[in-house]
A and B are shown apart, each in its own frame.
Chain A
Amino acid sequence: MCDVCGCGDPQIVSVDVHERILAANDRTAAHDRAHFEAEGTLAST
């Protein structure tokens, strides 16, 4: 069941896949954050 976006769809069972996608994203985000911090830049969404 999807408990990520709130839809609650019982057919969605891709939580592990989603976690791996987010883990890869988090690694790249850490790289981006290091770049911003090295430049003294405040990055804001």
Chain B
Amino acid sequence: MGSPGSGKTALLEATRRAAPDLRLGAVSGDLATDHDARRLAAAGTPSRTVTTGSACHLDAAMVHHALHDLPAAAFDVFFIENVGNLVCPAIYDLGQGASVVALSVTEGEDKPQKYPPMFRAADLVLLTKVDLLPHLPGVDPGRIRAALAAVAPRPRMLMVSAATGEGLDAWVAWLRERRAELARLLCVAAVRN
């Protein structure tokens, strides 16, 4: 999730390059065009587009239909790239096991405080386009982190750049850790049942 232009698709393209061993899949939501899904498919990630027309977010039924349109192969990580929007996507459950918000360095340091439901729901915030920071002397990642901490119960933020690869190892490690945690939880649930 993230604003239009926050770098969601570029991040997923870079994730493919940073984790060639992971089986990745994706569904991308936009009001129009299939540009994002085509970019992800070109990068090697099986992807489908959901064009929402005038809707500002994906819903679970849209994701459900997209899943039926994908190859039956299992995925290690399946990305649900929502429509660029920091409001409605925060309140629509899509069946995800992790909620990640992309926030670019050019969006304003107080964005978490302006859109608290989105950042409160995030398991992880990715501060994107950090390669631009040398050109943005007025932007302080510390102030962004403080704004996040003011609204989020679990303020965790990684600084990443799809252009240079900075921070992608930590991002991929986080995905692997979350997937392993999911497997452990499912194993415990199976034993209890």
Binding site for B on A (CB under 8 A): 4-6, 22, 25-26, 28-37, 39-45
Interface of A is mostly: helix
Interface size on B, residues (CB 8 A): 37
Contact across chains for A4 and B94 when beta carbons are under 8 A apart: no
Binding site for A on B (CB under 8 A): 1, 25, 59-61, 63-64, 67, 74-82, 87-89, 91-100, 117, 175, 178-179, 182-183, 186
Q: Which residue of the partner chain B has the closest CB to A35?
A: B67
**Cβ contact of B97, chosen from A22, A25, A36, cutoff 8 A:** A36
In the A-B complex, the 7 residue pairs with the smallest Cβ-Cβ separation, listed nearest first, are A32-B95, A28-B60, A33-B95, A29-B60, A29-B93, A42-B179, A29-B95
Contact across chains for B186 and A45 when beta carbons are under 8 A apart: no
A-B contact count (CB 8 A): 101
Chain B residues with CB under 8 A of A25: 59-61, 92-93
Contact across chains for B91 and A4 when beta carbons are under 8 A apart: yes
What is the minimal beta-carbon distance from A31 to any residue of chain B, in angstroms? 7
Chain B residues with CB under 8 A of A5: 87-88
Chain B residues with CB under 8 A of A31: 60, 64, 95
